[in-house]
Structure 1
């Protein structure tokens, strides 16, 4: 039996402590490593009160602020760290991401170029005076029905005037289309880089720009894209004419809801005050590392809380985990099976989680697949990630991401 696994680009950011840490710095670093970002931030702030020019504390405070989409604070701290050559490379990476998330492409492109990431730099600098992600519509909210919900949601978008089927995957980066479609649409290829997919598989991905994307009532102009063979592999597995993937970088320009029971994607303008789910208080805080790695707290079986990557693109399961999480949770793995990811075939081993939580939301007997995570993913961003929570877990819910409050809302239909 084949299992479909779609786990898209995973950005790589290193984390290194600059020199021997004092006691407070050591505590702050340990808290950060555990993913306790507010607690770590408090310690780094204590250090700055005693030494306002501490480069490393400014760097880490900028990183934590970026994870929470607090851009002004991130920029202030990172610019202070930028002056020190010993952390300049890391600081450039974080500051370029700070600008990128705000669609400040000229500034981001210059920093990507300095970091040697010329494919990204060329694409962003190609925008020149064009406003990226320009939304043209009087609408506040729009709904896009799913063509199908399982094994993963598919929707129809119109790209450069052509109606096209897309897979929705929060584990994906920018909007992605296949190479053949890009050529048919006459899109200029703006450089190439290597992307990491399920099981650590790598493949070439190209950069480009779409003139327009029509999503329901919204028309979005000047959309950065990546171009690869991943959508083609999805089409082969799903036996549907999938030509692209809607990733988080496109979606976070809205507050959006994946309404699995209702079979639709709901997009709402940011800062509109319009709810994409029922009006509910609370919500689960989440943070975003890299360009799309959204993490939130959960548990496996009777284990301690861990941060999990919220990647909705794991078809055939609701969870995948690191080897450490599998061992700690006492999970028994099944026989190896052949699966398919964005970069090609991978080996996975099925298992079942007795109890899986995300915040205070609990599901029982969740099907999982071990082997989907790239090697070293659990600490690639400098903090521990225990696994991925995905489609099978969220299937009974309306799952809303609010990027203004940086909170997730889960509503189960009664």
Structure 2
């Protein structure tokens, strides 16, 4: 589906994210410092990742200018980043009342409803945002989506590299080999597996990928079984061309939408995926186990429907916003822009370029070796990372950030932490209190 010469931003960029295995990152060291000196500038605070301070600054603006659409929308976005839904709805509805046709507000409010499985409320907001495929897709889901049966699903991985692989069952059929990746929102399947499961498309879309036309289809899966967990009434996507949606040798890919319905532990050290019901009792136990194992609670922010972020550091950057690209594949530990690598004095090997594709476009990366990359107490020293020579995304500069209004995700990202960083650890994602715990060794 083309719009004014541009492809629908979500379909193309999500496919690109899987193929590339990277997040859009931008050089930000100077920008963050600028924001700190402009204390009252709400947008600068937001861009520097000081979200709570930015929220208070937007509230101050609204007290003196209650019809400020931008301040209301951004204040809602602050709440949405941390899954504080009543807060997000309050301010986004205010922004919508002030400017009913504003596409960005409609998009954010749709996202807010989608995260709560309130698809009937999300549909008109998707339509107003110009997301016709989403509107048709979610409008075709009858009854409660993502119905959870069972309390815990622990699924061993059959492979770790080039990407984790595990078995799952679709509509009661034979086991299929699936991987996962937090750079993708939905449950995606190969065309053959979708046909075998008897899926019917309720919406479709064409995109251009690496010079060819790709048809993407959207439907609803009756049953998805993963270990001791069954999900029913699950939105699902498949495509005629599988290369941009699945890792090699997999039948499909589990995205963030599945993961955020659970208290999710991605146990790299134990080579398993653990999905638990999000109950207060389970959450308390998992948090206690993680803290006892040496993990400190880190903030978890969810941007643009499915993209995970937290706070971390690279070399001497200090703590800043980083992207968590959990799953996928690749040998790199982290990625960053060329400008960030240069500002931090990170050794970069420009003699050994790595040529690849991302989002259907050729990109060039370079190996680099920061003295340290860190997420809380989880640290890797002098490890193999990627960067580029310009100001892009750690070697995988594509249109993801540019396509997400306003300009990007709205905040600067120091870098992204990728598949290989997590191998010694287990990672627990708490989507209720919005914390992430990274502990060394196998999960209990």
**TM-score computed with the length of structure 2 as normaliser:** 0.80
SS at structure 2 position matched to 1:288: strand
CA contact (8 A) 1:234 1:342 kept: no
Deviations 1:73-107 (A, max 9, x none): 11111111102238722110110000011011111
Mind listing any 5+ residue stretches in structure 2 that lack a counterpart?
1-16, 25-36, 388-394
SS at structure 1 position matched to 2:223: strand
Question: In the alignment, which residue of structure 2 is the partner of 1:250?
Answer: 258
In the alignment, which of 365, 372, 376 is matched to residue 382 of structure 2? 365
Question: In the alignment, which residue of structure 1 is the partner of 2:236?
Answer: 225
In the alignment, which of 212, 217, 235 is matched to residue 206 of structure 1? 217
Shift of 1:350: 2.6
Higher strand share: 1
Question: In the alignment, which residue of structure 2 is the partner of 1:377?
Answer: 401
In 1, Cα distance between the equivalents of 2:424 and 2:47? 32
Shift of 1:189: 1.9
Deviations 1:92-123 (A, max 9, x none): 01100000110111111121122221111101
Deviations 1:21-71 (A, max 9, x none): xx9996111101111101101111222334444433221110110111001
Question: In the alignment, which residue of structure 1 is the partner of 2:431?
Answer: 403
Assess, with a 3 A threshold, how the Cα gap between structure 1 residues 289 and 5 changes in structure 2: closer, same or farther.
closer
Deviations 1:122-166 (A, max 9, x none): 0100013x21000122x2x22111111223211111111221111
Pairing 1:326–2:317 present: no
In 2, Cα distance between the equivalents of 1:204 and 1:349? 33
Assess, with a 3 A threshold, how the Cα gap between structure 1 residues 362 and 87 changes in structure 2: closer, same or farther.
farther
Deviations 1:226-258 (A, max 9, x none): 2136755687x74x3x11011111110001111
Mind listing any 5+ residue stretches in structure 1 that lack a counterpart?
12-22
Question: In the alignment, which residue of structure 2 is the partner of 1:40?
Answer: 54
Between 337-346 and 263-272, the greater mean CA deviation after superposition: 337-346
Shift of 1:179: 1.7
Pairing 1:167–2:179 present: yes
CA RMSD of aligned residues (A): 3.1
Between 46-55 and 61-70, the greater mean CA deviation after superposition: 46-55
Assess, with a 3 A threshold, how the Cα gap between structure 1 residues 72 and 79 changes in structure 2: closer, same or farther.
same
Assess, with a 3 A threshold, how the Cα gap between structure 1 residues 104 and 27 changes in structure 2: closer, same or farther.
same
**TM-score computed with the length of structure 1 as normaliser:** 0.85
**How many residue pairs align between the two structures?**
393
CA contact (8 A) 1:9 1:196 kept: no
In 2, Cα distance between the equivalents of 1:257 and 1:125? 31
Pairing 1:261–2:269 present: yes
